[in-house]
Amino acid sequence: MEYIAKDIQDTVEKTIIPIIQALIDGIETDEEISNKTEIKLNIVRKFLYKLYDLKIANYKRSKDPETQWYTYSWKFDEAELVRQINEEGEKELKELNEKLEYEENNMFFVCPLGHVRYNFDEASDEEFLCVCLKELEFQDNTEIIKQIKKDIKLTKSDLNSFNKKQKK
């Protein structure tokens, strides 16, 4: 299953990156993108609409007066992509900080067989017994706290690095 997922991911990356690069290079129509990237037109269109759904590509529709056919001129919205990446990074940081606060401000008890993990109040409500009737054991969460702090540091570093690159 992982092999299939990796293969699909590789295929998508090999397809989407040239399409985005073509947009960045100023190529506007799906046909021009298809010609430049040598990716089938229907696949280019599918990816362009996916980018549109993600709000990182926009199009303008115009009608050819001779043929009466519509032409779609596409633009990649780099500013929106940057905004979304920053928003996701900030959201992840907020979640990690909340998780850190929860871990630092609670005492935890776990089932020796790994069934449950409760904070003190929850463990007390269950009379310090697991659903399997084993007595809950105190859990030292020092390593969990260390890992969350590492994750916060890494996320901040990644976000700062990304934003520095955007300013150049």
pLDDT at 2 over 80: no
The pLDDT score that the predictor gives to residue 168 is 64
- Give pTM, 2 decimals: 0.72
Give the C-alpha separation, 140 to 62, whole Å: 64
Closest by CA position to 155, among listed 91, 102, 98, 78: 91
Closest by CA position to 156, among listed 90, 112, 100: 90
pLDDT at 83 over 80: yes
The pLDDT score that the predictor gives to residue 109 is 98
The pLDDT score that the predictor gives to residue 51 is 93
Q: Write the CB contacts of 132 (distance below 8 Å, at least 6 apart in sequence).
A: 111, 113, 115
> How confident is the model over 8-32, as pLDDT tens digits?
676 677 788 899 999 999 888 999 9
pLDDT at 122 over 90: yes
